[in-house]
Amino acid sequence: MAAIGLLGVPANSSGRSDGVARAPAALREAGIVEALRRRTDVTDYGDVTLPDPSPERDVTPHLIDPVGLATLVTRVRDSVASILSDGHRPLVIGGDCPLLLGCLAAAVTEGRVQLLFVDGHEDAYLPEQSSTGEAADMELAFALGMADRSWSPEFAAVCPHVEATDVRILGPRDAGTLRDSLSFVSGAHLAADPAGQTRAAVSSLTHPWWFHLDLDVLSTEALPAVDYPQDGGLAWEDLDEVTAQALGAEPAGWDITIYNPDLDPARTSARRIVEFVSSAIREPPASARW
């Protein structure tokens, strides 16, 4: 089994250093490194160092802390690229969803990268449509080239582009604005057949592709420690099936986002996430990477 390169990204796209930004530290305190090492070799690459965030929403790009977003994407890209060059398989723990952009930028090969996007939200708002201004509302819009990037030459240079035909979306329970333009499975349909829907999605992906998992694809009953809960969602057992199918199909890497330890004072959810992640790292088929 290939060694895992664990990377933390303590980012919160609301421009604060609390909330989901504290997730990597909370998961380490809950024993994620030790739990993974009982399954496989793990190199802990620590956390990406980020500048102090700003909660101000700029008028022109309609984003909170756009300079911080560009820096985040650049530094995550560089860190994930280092893990890949070391021959390790990246497991990136956030933090907030925009870290995905840096992961994709690192994983791209010969101008192309594909994506399995498992999330309770589409995250495809244009910046001017977002009620919050948080980049976590819109990372998929940036990746697909739907949102303007010209406000920052630095961001435009590092932000990856993913073709719509290269994205498989599983699990959203919000508005559904992308349903007609991409391969899309709603939260209700995913819950009805988690293994089958995921198997169908990954069977059409070719390398390299990245596995993005936002934990708010779970129901609020399963994971209360999220900032934007919705009705519906998966049980942990459903997510186990989704993840087994995804990792068995050999992604280039995996990121996990959107756990807020401030909403989990007893760290019950942190321990459950550690259990979930470590149990997902099983002995794969001989040809598999995980």
Residue 217 to residues 29, 34, 38, 130, 139, Cα–Cα distance (Å) = 24, 26, 27, 20, 16
pLDDT value, residue 1 = 54
Looking at the chain, the number of H-run helices and the number of E-run strands are 10, 8
Number of C-alpha atoms within 13 angstroms, CB side, residue 198? 29
Per-position pLDDT tens, the chain of length 290: 579 999 999 999 999 999 999 999 999 999 999 999 999 999 999 999 999 999 999 988 999 999 999 999 999 999 999 999 999 999 999 999 999 999 999 999 888 999 999 999 998 889 898 889 999 999 999 999 999 998 989 999 999 999 999 999 999 998 666 666 788 999 999 999 999 999 999 999 998 999 999 999 999 999 999 999 899 999 999 999 999 999 999 999 999 999 999 999 999 999 999 999 999 987 443 344 56
The DSSP code sequence of 192-227 is: HSHHHHHHHHHHT--SSEEEEEEGGGB-TTT----S
How far apart, in whole angstroms, are the C-alpha atoms of residue 77 and residue 135? Answer: 17
Q: Is the dihedral of CA 132, 134, 140, 146 positive or negative?
A: positive
Peptide bond into 98 cis (omega under 30): no
Contact 119, 212 (CB under 8 A): yes
Q: Give the H or E element holding residue 6.
A: strand 4-9
pLDDT value, residue 55 = 92
Cβ neighbours of residue 39 closer than 8 Å, sequence gap 6 or more: 278, 281, 282
* Topology classification of domain 4-280: Arginase; Chain A (3.40.800)
Closest CA to 155 of 49, 72, 92: 72
Q: Give the H or E element holding residue 289.
A: none
Number of C-alpha atoms within 13 angstroms, CB side, residue 118? 33
Contact 106, 84 (CB under 8 A): yes
How far apart, in whole angstroms, are the C-alpha atoms of residue 158 and residue 150? Answer: 12
The DSSP code sequence of 137-174 is: GTHHHHHTT-S--TT-HHHHHH-----GGGEEEE---S
Q: What is the DSSP letter of 261?
A: G
Question: pTM of this prediction?
Answer: 0.94
